Structure 1
Amino acid sequence: MLDPRPVIYLIGMLALTLGALMLLPMAMDLSRDDPNWRSFALSGFATAFVGGGLAGATRNALRDGLGRRQSFLLASSLWLVLPAFAALPFMLGAPGASWTDAYFEALSGMTTTGTTVFVGLDDMPRGVLLWRSILQWLGGLGIVVVALVFLPVLRVGGMQHFQSEGFDTLGKVMPRVYDISLALLQVYLALTLAAIIAFMAFGMSGFDALNHGLTTAATGGFSTTDQSFAIYTGPLEYVAVVFMVLSGLPFIRLIQLMGGQPKALLQDVQVRAFLRWIAYAVGVIVAYRLATQDGSFHDILRGTLFNVVTLFTGTGYGSEDVSAWGDFPLMVVMLVGFIGACTASTGCSIKVFRFLVLFEAIKLRMRQLGSPHQVVALRLGGKRLEEDVVSSVIVMFTAFAAIFAALTAALALTGLDTRTALTAAWTAICNIGPAFGPEVGPTGAVDQFPTISKWLMILGMYLGRLEVLAVLVLFFPRFWRG
């Protein structure tokens, strides 16, 4: 039987850390004489108390390390348990949310989805706004660590390819997991600090720059205003585009870039495809908008570039109403949302790498139909793809499509308009942020959704963030038997 104590210990330690981090928004509200600081003080104490108790009760559990099944259980449990603690300040203080809304907001933050049920952000206590941004920043870091440390070693699900494509390259430089995690943290911190400084340099206030720096590096999309990025049109959009693209690149390559190896980034087939597909999507939509809408070329280009990149990377900021561009541009942005950023980035969705693998598998199959006796190895970027990598990618596509269809149907059955149900399922499972439809509020909030719709979106966000298969494997009895 699986021993859950190491998992409980690590969750306890992380809950203890989460409780300590609540001191930051508490201090923010205290500095402004905002009585909302008490909600963070009480929530932080409760979270740290429970986390410390769990860690203390299982303090010797990690003596033999984590096993394969325990690693899976840990990765799948974190994004369920920690948001429950993170939601406490939203219920005990402003905005006085229900359990459903508080958990929705916390999970949306920690999965870096960015869909919100809160309205009136402009009048929220600053501690609440900062806490939302911190949750997204933690979620962005967490998913990269899981992607590069836990799942590649296990060789299951859609993350297998790191064993053959990226993880081995990184391992030659830093073979120990500790070194990998430390390097990831350094790159993530550098990216976050650079974004904060750049936002301030181009006119954002210090507080807004701090929050947007945190959520841009995490490709999360929470903002400090109901208008999202619409009040920052101009040069700040270009600044955000730069950092969203950087955050959507494989962190392995960013580590190598900081280590003086730019060649690895420039030659990465996934990176080249990511940048090329962004250019294609922007070019097609700009051409369509110029032909059908009034406006200057520069304004249309800037707005299209920003909103395509924010949806491609799953950041979810909005500076314009994308649905107002027309049905064709909306289809294009939904497609890029399904593609997502690069694997091992803070980005979301299916990921560029898996699409490249799928395309190569289709091309190989077409060649084999013409020459059935020819034996050709499947390659990507000059490297051979193992059969288990290809099969896991195909399984990932199948599971993703099936869950998206089921989630769309379930949301429609709750009474949502067809467009709302479709885009709500899309934004949840792809961890993007915005939804479109008559039930979506003017600020983009989904606060008017039925409670059951919110819980369906919670399920979609959870499955999408852990890339479906890492969760589904837990439902197989063989997993628990070992």
Structure 2
Amino acid sequence: MIHFKAIGKIMGALLMLFSLLMFPGVGFALYHGSDDLMALSISVGVSFLTGFGLFSTFSKQDQNIRKREGYLIVSLSWFLMSIFGMLPYILSGAVESIPDAIFETVSGLTTTGATILTDIEGTAPGILFWRSMTQWIGGLGIIVLTVAIFPLLGIGGIELFVAEAPGPTSDKLHPRISETAKRLWMVYIGLTFLLGIIYFLQGMSLFDAVNHCLTTMATGGFSTRSDSMAYFSPFIQYTSIIFMFLAGTNFTIIYFGLKGKFNRVWASDEFKAYLISVIALVFLLVWPVWYYSGEGFEKAFRDSLFQIIALITTTGYVTADYTAYHSGLTLVFFMFLFLGASAGSTSGGIKFIRHLTFFKNSWLEFKRIVHPRAVVPLKINGDRVTGKIVTHIMNFLLIYLMIFVLGSIIISLLGYDILTSFGAVATSLGNVGPAIGRVGPMDNFAFFDPTAKVFLSFLMLLGRLELFTILVLFTPYFWRAN
């Protein structure tokens, strides 16, 4: 039996915290004297009061949650955040329709970065800040934050952390899960603050610096400029490259690096694969980009490095139109939408650890064919990977591919060309932002009809929550009583 009252209590706490994170937008609106002040204030009030009502109503309920409650809370929390998170857009008039508001909110919370806004510079400052904040909230996951806060409320959170943490594994830095969450958020907040200072010192306005440090560390890609990072200087772009790469790194690896435990950093097979892949891809692509772009070598190198990291980490910033080089290069950049950076990072996508496991297991399969009696274990980071984990990863990859194909068919049946359908589904499922077709790096998603926008929003949530967290809710086993 699912404890719905306990779920109601936790959802109330989540919603109150969500409203508090919405509040700084009121300050920006007040400072700039913009007309979105009332919309943001009402949104904060409605969100907090609703959360307080839920929490106080069920405050005496048993706080212990099991795996089923954990998955249900995570899925429902993202649904609730999407509903209440779109209020500022609707009430301010920045977005005219509910499907558009849902799309923009879900794109922010899932750190996808796809947008329906056509006049970024003309959007009110408070709304732009809230737009960036949604990505920062979704970056490491509000559930991980609440796992750190919940012990103060007498609520356990291990099942929430397992359901929310990005990637197939969630390494602990401390035996207590709340301490792990706190340390991850300390790294996240610290890097965000540091990046904001660097952006400001490099010439960004304070408003631009605040917004871009939020969306860079979240690997989100929302910008206060229609030209994205192309608007800013090469020095700022190089800084963005460094921090996008860090944001795409497992945060436990960053933590060990900050503690001086570099042996733990280099012991990670996923980090080595991530780093070597980026270096190799830049070396291979800089030459054709230089040739087809007609730009100087430094510009070609910077654009190649920037777009490779922006797509692999699913940040989605752009400095150049990679679809304008050559059809072959367009296909290569499209394939990056299926990579994803590291598990335990703020990036979306499939993640390197899954690709690494797949290729290692496939390579070992040839050895097993030649030596059928031999025991050939698969090892990652020196540890043996169990058959259960391998099966889970293989199933994930297959289901991911099936959803991509089915989703592309659905979008094409709604009347869109095949390249646009492939691009929209791949970038939504991978939480990237730009893609190919009519959703290339210089385009947006405003032209999609309401049905397509809602469907793509669902795909963003599927990708952000690693498929199974949501899909398990559609199985009869989940709802069957114990």
Relative to the length of structure 1, the TM-score reads: 0.93
Q: What 5-or-longer segments of structure 2 have no aligned partner?
A: 148-156
- Structure 1 residues 150 and 248: alpha-carbon distance in aligned structure 2, compared to 1, 3 A threshold: farther
Paired residue for 1:387?
Answer: 387
Deviations 1:174-219 (A, max 9, x none): 1101111110110001110111111112111111011000000100
Distance in 2 between residues matched to 1:181 and 1:161, nearest whole Å: 14
Paired residue for 2:47?
Answer: 47
Paired residue for 2:60?
Answer: 60
The percentage of counterpart residues that share the same residue type is: 31
Paired residue for 1:2?
Answer: 2
1:297 positional shift: 1.1
1:17-416 matches, cutoff 5 A: 17-63=17-63, 65-142=64-141, 145=144, 150=158, 159-162=167-170, 166-167=171-172, 170=173, 174-416=174-416
What secondary structure is seen at the aligned counterpart in 1 of 2:121? helix
Distance in 1 between residues matched to 2:118 and 2:194, nearest whole Å: 29
Distance in 2 between residues matched to 1:264 and 1:311, nearest whole Å: 26
CA contact (8 A) 1:314 1:337 kept: yes
Deviations 1:375-416 (A, max 9, x none): 111112321101111110000001100001011111111111
Q: For 2:94, give the aligned amino acid.
A: P
Distance in 1 between residues matched to 2:142 and 2:341, nearest whole Å: 13
Distance in 1 between residues matched to 2:462 and 2:95, nearest whole Å: 27
- Structure 1 residues 473 and 150: alpha-carbon distance in aligned structure 2, compared to 1, 3 A threshold: farther
RMSD: 2.2
Q: For 1:344, give the aligned amino acid.
A: G
Deviations 1:198-252 (A, max 9, x none): 1112111111011000000100000001111111141111100000000111111
What secondary structure is seen at the aligned counterpart in 2 of 1:61? coil
Distance in 2 between residues matched to 1:134 and 1:147, nearest whole Å: 16
CA contact (8 A) 1:428 1:457 kept: yes
- Structure 1 residues 376 and 13: alpha-carbon distance in aligned structure 2, compared to 1, 3 A threshold: same
Distance in 2 between residues matched to 1:240 and 1:75, nearest whole Å: 30
Distance in 1 between residues matched to 2:13 and 2:399, nearest whole Å: 33
CA contact (8 A) 1:340 1:351 kept: yes
CA contact (8 A) 2:167 2:351 kept: no
Q: For 1:480, give the aligned amino acid.
A: W
Q: For 1:141, give the aligned amino acid.
A: L
Distance in 2 between residues matched to 1:100 and 1:83, nearest whole Å: 11
- How many aligned residue pairs are there? 472
What secondary structure is seen at the aligned counterpart in 2 of 1:229? helix
What secondary structure is seen at the aligned counterpart in 1 of 2:225? coil
1:160 positional shift: 4.8
1:26 positional shift: 1.4
What secondary structure is seen at the aligned counterpart in 2 of 1:121? coil
Q: For 1:352, give the aligned amino acid.
A: F
Q: For 2:182, give the aligned amino acid.
A: L
Distance in 1 between residues matched to 2:95 and 2:428, nearest whole Å: 24
1:330 positional shift: 1.8
- Structure 1 residues 472 and 197: alpha-carbon distance in aligned structure 2, compared to 1, 3 A threshold: same
Relative to the length of structure 2, the TM-score reads: 0.93
- Structure 1 residues 53 and 157: alpha-carbon distance in aligned structure 2, compared to 1, 3 A threshold: closer
Deviates more, 1:243-252 or 1:472-481: 472-481
1:457 to 2:456 alignment: yes
CA contact (8 A) 1:233 1:319 kept: no
Deviates more, 1:410-419 or 1:24-33: 24-33
1:448 to 2:447 alignment: yes
CA contact (8 A) 2:73 2:160 kept: no
1:144 positional shift: 8.1
Distance in 1 between residues matched to 2:254 and 2:143, nearest whole Å: 12
Q: For 1:405, give the aligned amino acid.
A: V
1:6 positional shift: 2.2
Q: For 2:109, give the aligned amino acid.
A: M
- Structure 1 residues 323 and 103: alpha-carbon distance in aligned structure 2, compared to 1, 3 A threshold: same
1:256 positional shift: 2.0
- Structure 1 residues 151 and 362: alpha-carbon distance in aligned structure 2, compared to 1, 3 A threshold: farther
CA contact (8 A) 1:322 1:330 kept: yes
Distance in 1 between residues matched to 2:41 and 2:191, nearest whole Å: 30
Q: For 2:4, give the aligned amino acid.
A: P
1:336 positional shift: 2.1
Paired residue for 1:468?
Answer: 467
Q: For 2:467, give the aligned amino acid.
A: V
Distance in 2 between residues matched to 1:226 and 1:330, nearest whole Å: 22
CA contact (8 A) 1:143 1:346 kept: no
Q: What 5-or-longer segments of structure 1 have no aligned partner?
A: none
What secondary structure is seen at the aligned counterpart in 2 of 1:435? coil
CA contact (8 A) 1:158 1:396 kept: no
- Structure 1 residues 146 and 260: alpha-carbon distance in aligned structure 2, compared to 1, 3 A threshold: same
Deviations 1:30-81 (A, max 9, x none): 1222222000111111111111111111112243x22111111112222211
What secondary structure is seen at the aligned counterpart in 2 of 1:464? helix
Paired residue for 1:478?
Answer: 477
Distance in 2 between residues matched to 1:158 and 1:357, nearest whole Å: 17
Q: For 1:473, give the aligned amino acid.
A: V
